[in-house]
Structure 1
């Protein structure tokens, strides 16, 4: 079921009770219930979390937030759902359900996003998607709104998780060509100035439909716009999301965060352990865990001379934009996952670190292996192409260039503290690795 209480929505009149100006789409109409959700402290927190974390160290304009991205996803979902309602694929009463899922889909992101989330995943065995579900189901501010308007939080969460009983609903947020990806490519490209991410979103949104199997599809006449979408994502992964220098600052921030938790955890209470984080959500305190809290703690460590010399040195380097350096950097484009030779890669990096450990002045925090594998085209989730009476996945469509692009990007790096960069390079040269 969608909403059990009928409220006036922006679908009814084409207007909302309020309009919010967005730099990508212009004015976004917002309904009464959407406005109530947006105004909760839990959603307002996203104004204080940058969408691309430390990317602004490389692209100074990348200061946009997860809040604006979330509004954009809600807007794109609204466009798609209105179209699918007219075509008979979505129930009118589920319009608000899907828009609200859009605006809440990133609610579980941590401060500095991937820098801290990588630690959370390793230390607490929890991903931000799971945190999102927990917030939607237990946050007191959101649940007060849900209760007032008859919204089922579990159903909202199911759309975001991708296990709603209506498969099409899941595809709006969990497919290769979904509202999330459409918005972040446009928005991140705009703010970084990296033109690779610019896509023909109007063409995609105007022509996308649902095929006889209930899956997202585009007519063959629009295939160039979709191909450009896949190519744009591939280039943005390399130029922005896993940019060598940006990633260096991310791993540095993670190292600093772990040190603060270990030595000065009281300054980050109640966000130091998973039970405490979950408790903060239930108590309505989660909205305080934002970029400002972490950034303020870094300043406090230096101002008050807290922690040890290593921690303070790393913070000074980070604040002055002196990051770790990639002494080894290989990007592999392939049709096969990196996992086929991951063990060999890990052994090679560990051998280098072992050799460096005998170097005078070496400390464990000075080396950070970085291995990422990105799936560029998901064979199971990729969009389909309608051609005459057939509908096939774009990877199976003979005249599509998607057949020729790699399925995976493997990124293998060894980041080192700038003080040992020259020595690390010597070791790699001696082993014939570079």
Structure 2
């Protein structure tokens, strides 16, 4: 790679028309973001941004149905993608400033990483992760579909459909960076700069600019405090042995990153009411699938990009009798006639390793013979998993640190050397049960308690289901 990382075929061309070279300011755009301030978009990124496929992200709420509980959570994947684009550029800028010549990072690398940040969520389905993790498994049992894979397919589709001029090597790297933290990550050759693939989606230790943006943006939108400071990590990080490492003194700040993410999962993403609404939307989509064929969209990029959060409006205002059941569920959501939360329990620590998801059938099989006879379709169960990105393991153990900037050795911080105030357990499993009809709350709650006694010998829920809930009709 020659001048400023420009491919040989582009050398000698005017700067405006060369990927990776100094950019003529007449051909850039400035967008003001309410989290990061002014963001400058380069010409190549604008070619992707000014497409129908990218503009679709304006109709995908970042937090899906969370806005039904947190009214301010109406931000979209469009602005999140701009934020990740900007942060990816900031990360590369910091590495260039302090180690540019040492690690051979250039403008071509910078633009490639930024483009990966811009496009990393282009393949996301409607309603945040609910489409991928809740809806598709019901209509396509065993499906291995992922939004990362769809992002890669959509990037190729966008290039072809919009005739975007981008060299094949850069395109390959962008796609590999998008899937770098997924199970589809591609093994890279020894000639690659591996650390560049840890900036947008970090499969090595989970510290990436995607989290930096959505944690700050989601906290702001939901009115929650965020005491994690990503700026310190960007300024302090350093590449050692082709890996991004961090000052040892920042280990508590890094732990705050993972702890804040876990708090968001507990209080926002998996809020009991949010999950109730998600369960209802899943039921509505499943019932509508035979007619609308929603489950076919994820396997064709040409169709998938047309699918967004407006699918609820499509169902709600359709005249077809085949969508009546789905319409009724959506109307219940509008009227706040939600599935009734009965109770929840946290899986005991000593049972976490062998835990299996609880199903409506488990609850039905635990009901008493006398009284109301419950059916599986009367019950909804939400199995919530919250961790610090590494399951039962402490994420700090997978991160490389250095003592100071004179030091040439990296090391990990083991559990016995960190603050004893930090939690000893790094994951939580919560089982929540809902009655689909208010008059069944008492029966479902009783069956749920019987299930706990049968499995654990004790009621593991914190308190009884309130009597007022049981008496609702």
Q: TM-score, normalised by structure 2?
A: 0.78
How far off its partner does 1:168 sit? 0.9
Q: Which residue of 1 aligns with 2:316?
A: 299
Structure 1 residues without counterparts, runs of 5 or longer? none
Work out whether 1:371 is the aligned partner of 2:383: yes
Q: Which residue of 2 aligns with 1:115?
A: 130
Matching of residues 27-426 of structure 1 within 5 Å: 27-86=38-97, 87-88=99-100, 89=103, 91-92=105-106, 93-118=108-133, 119-121=135-137, 123=140, 124-140=143-159, 144-145=163-164, 147-148=165-166, 152-162=170-180, 163=186, 165=188, 166-172=193-199, 173-174=201-202, 175-195=205-225, 197-211=226-240, 213-262=241-290, 264-265=291-292, 271-273=294-296, 276-279=297-300, 281=301, 284-292=302-310, 294-301=311-318, 304=319, 306-307=321-322, 310-332=325-347, 338=352, 340-343=353-356, 346=358, 350-355=361-366, 362=374, 364-378=376-390, 382-388=398-404, 389=407, 390-396=409-415, 398-400=417-419, 404-419=423-438, 420-426=440-446
Deviations 1:277-316 (A, max 9, x none): 433x2xx444321111x12223224xx3633664343222
In structure 2, how many angstroms separate the alpha carbons of the residues matched to 1:200 and 1:308? Answer: 47
Considering only CA atoms, is the larger Rg found in Structure 1 or Structure 2? 2
Deviations 1:311-365 (A, max 9, x none): 343222122233223323123585x893x2223x637x63312356987685543
Change (3 A) 1:333 1:73: farther
In structure 1, how many angstroms separate the alpha carbons of the residues matched to 2:244 and 2:444? Answer: 49
Deviations 1:75-133 (A, max 9, x none): 11100111223313353121111111111111111111222212225514311112112
Q: TM-score, normalised by structure 1?
A: 0.84
Contact 2:284 2:325 (8 Å CA) reproduced: no
In structure 2, how many angstroms separate the alpha carbons of the residues matched to 1:346 and 1:289? Answer: 31
Contact 2:367 2:446 (8 Å CA) reproduced: no
RMSD across aligned positions (CA): 3.1
How far off its partner does 1:185 sit? 0.2
In structure 1, how many angstroms separate the alpha carbons of the residues matched to 2:96 and 2:269? Answer: 34
In structure 2, how many angstroms separate the alpha carbons of the residues matched to 1:357 and 1:144? Answer: 65
Change (3 A) 1:377 1:131: closer
How far off its partner does 1:235 sit? 1.2
Structure 2 residues without counterparts, runs of 5 or longer? 12-16, 181-185, 454-458, 462-473
Contact 2:32 2:38 (8 Å CA) reproduced: yes
Change (3 A) 1:198 1:321: farther
Pick which of 135-144 and 216-225 moved more. 135-144
In structure 1, how many angstroms separate the alpha carbons of the residues matched to 2:388 and 2:340? Answer: 26
In structure 1, how many angstroms separate the alpha carbons of the residues matched to 2:252 and 2:36? Answer: 22
Contact 1:189 1:198 (8 Å CA) reproduced: no
Deviations 1:129-178 (A, max 9, x none): 12112212334566621x35666433211111113633212211124210
How far off its partner does 1:243 sit? 1.6
Change (3 A) 1:201 1:140: closer
In structure 2, how many angstroms separate the alpha carbons of the residues matched to 1:95 and 1:397? Answer: 38
In structure 1, how many angstroms separate the alpha carbons of the residues matched to 2:402 and 2:109? Answer: 26
Structure with greater contact order relative to length (CA < 8 Å, sep ≥ 6): 1
Change (3 A) 1:158 1:429: closer
In structure 2, how many angstroms separate the alpha carbons of the residues matched to 1:402 and 1:132? Answer: 40
Q: Which residue of 1 aligns with 2:464?
A: none
Higher helix share: 1
Contact 2:177 2:197 (8 Å CA) reproduced: yes
Deviations 1:54-83 (A, max 9, x none): 101111000000011111111111001112
How far off its partner does 1:394 sit? 4.2
How far off its partner does 1:38 sit? 0.8
Change (3 A) 1:201 1:286: same
SS across alignment from 1:288: coil
SS across alignment from 1:291: coil
